[in-house]
Structure formats: structure tokens, C-alpha cells
Amino acid sequence: MTEQNTTGHTENPDNAVEAEKERSTSATKLTIGLAGLTVILVVGLVFSLVLVFRGDDEPLVSLDPTTDNESASQLEDLQFEPDPVFDRHNRVIYVPLDPKGSILSATPAAANRAADQAPSGVMLQRIHGNMDLPFSTSDGPTGFTDNGVATGFSRTAQGAALAAAHYLGYAYAGGNRLEMATEAGVVSEPNGEFSQLKIADDTPASVMPLVNVLFNPDLTLVKFGYTAEMKDGSTKIAVSKLPMVWREGTGWVLQADSTALGVEYEPVSADGWQQWW
């Protein structure tokens, strides 16, 4: 919004037109970026888990992510349905009796753990009926907000990625679930960018398999991706970039109004990608 002129001078019409053009261009870029992010996320629900090999036949990601199965051995009576289920990509999904999810028994993380090492005891849980999201024994979540959104993720690269997976899932699972995350204070959206996408309520959500974290304890960039076939026949990683800010008293918050939010494509040989779930 243009500031009022309190000096009595008349604003230059040409300058005003140029300023309006710049504002319009910025808004258009943000809308296009969010629309592109929606496409990647929706397509990501049907991503291929086929390994992409480099020139030296080294797999981009391991068939066995560097995570243990502690959580599977800690299933307690009456916490989950008797049998787990497969998702469409043959990942094992546990179904908690409580629709918001089940907190796993905590295990301490190694003091010298690398930022690209997976969280311990990762378990995919189907929460709210159709959202397949990761829980861990080492980096959270450790609790829920009053309206049932997971919280208590550690101030680590692993905790930031886990939080990003959850809060992005809420943001793209429909207006009703976006409202839950916004009310919980874990999605910062003062201008309503996500809500403008008009995604149907209760849309299924599933975490993408590839993770790449640029960690800073105050502001972390989490990237999720999956391998995608391009029109020219090449294979690239379709990437969703999510800025996560740490706020005292709340923890990790998805910055939906950040210019860092967006989509891009990277070559399959790009460094830093891991498969954590």
C-alpha cells in the first residue's frame, strides 16, 4: 500500500505506475511459486521410488535408510491398530487408535550425530485418517497442541525436517487442516497465501521420500524431493523448499510468507540428498 503524502507535494505518476507494476509482479511470482509447489506436492503423492543411478552405478539413495527400527519394537498395547498397512509405495504405515497420532518412547540422539543422519526410530503413522507422516524416537514429536497438531520437534536438522513434513502436510491437506496448523501457530501465514490455493478439505497427504537439510538453529531450509521424469526424457529431482524458523515457546514454524518458499528441479547427482523414510 502506498504511503500517504503528508508534505503537500504531488506524487510523480510515472513512479507510482512503476511501483504498482513491481508490486503486481511480486504478487504474481509468489502465486505462481505456490501453484508450482502444489503441483509438485500433488504429483509427489504418486512419486516413483525407483532408484536413480549415477554414472558409477552408485545409488542416489540407499534401499535401507540409515535409521533403526526401535519404534517398531516399542509398539504398546492399545496404541495402534493390530496390523500395519502398506501405502501405495509399499512403505509400512502404522495406524494409531488416536487420530492425531501416537508419541513414541524417547531415545537420546548421539552427541556427535551428523546433520545428514536420519532420526532414530522413524515410524510413518496415518493420522487424521489419511495423512502419512513421520514420527521418531529421537527428535519428536513429543506432544500435541490443543487442536491435535504434532509439536515438540527438536532444535536439530532432524527435528526441523520432521516438523516440516508435518506442517507442510497440514498446509496441503485442505482448508480445514491448514486452519488447524494456523491456529496451532506452526504455519506462519499472515497474508493467506496457502489458503488462496483452495485445496479441498481432507485431501490425503504423504511425506516425500528424499530429504536435504541446510541447517541453522534459528532458520533452516528443508528440501523435500522425489525423482521425476522430465518431458525431454531426463530424470531430475523435483524439489519443494520450506523455510523453517525457530520461535521460542513454539518451536519450528513453517514460514509460508517467505521468499525462500518455492519449487525447483535439481540433477539426480546433486549432493546432500538422503532417504529417511
Q: What is the pLDDT of residue 210?
A: 96
Provide the CA 83 distance to its chain's centre, in angstroms. 27
C-alpha cell at 90: 509399499
Q: What is the pLDDT of residue 37?
A: 54
Instruction: Evaluate whether 74 touches 104 at the Cβ level (below 8 Å).
Output: yes
Q: What is the pLDDT of residue 206?
A: 94
pLDDT tens digit at each of 277 positions of the chain:
434 333 344 445 555 555 555 555 554 445 545 555 554 454 444 333 332 322 333 332 323 344 444 444 445 556 999 999 999 889 999 999 999 999 999 999 988 899 999 999 999 999 999 999 999 999 999 999 999 999 999 999 999 999 999 999 999 899 999 999 999 999 997 666 677 778 999 999 999 999 999 999 999 999 999 999 999 999 999 999 999 999 999 999 999 988 999 899 999 999 999 999 9
Please report, for residues 60, 66, 162, 276, 277, the alpha-carbon distance to residue 63 in angstroms, rounded to integers and kept in the order given: 10, 9, 20, 10, 10
- CB count within 10 Å of CB 52 equals 15
Give the residue from 152, 115, 113 showing the smallest Cα distance to 136: 152
Q: What is the pLDDT of residue 240?
A: 95
Q: What is the pLDDT of residue 78?
A: 62
pTM of the model: 0.76
Q: What is the pLDDT of residue 39?
A: 47
Q: What is the pLDDT of residue 21?
A: 53
Q: Give bridge partners of residue 207 from the DSSP assignment.
A: none
3-state helix/strand/coil string of the chain? CCCCCCCCCCCCHHHHHHHHHHHHHHHHHHHHHHHHHHHHHHHHCCCECCCCECCCCCECCCCCCCCCCHHHHCCCCCCECCCCEECCCCCEEECECCCCCCCCCCCCCCCCCCCCCCCCCCEEEEECCCEEEEECCCCCCCEECCCCCEECCCCCHHHHHHHHHHHHHHHCCCHHHHHHHHHHCCEECCCCCHHHHCCCCCCCEECCCEEEEECCCCEEEEEEEEEEECCCCCEEEEEEEEEEEEECCCEEEEECCCCCCEEEEEECCCCCCEECC
Q: What is the pLDDT of residue 121?
A: 96
Q: What is the pLDDT of residue 190?
A: 62
Instruction: Evaluate whether 188 touches 24 at the Cβ level (below 8 Å).
Output: no
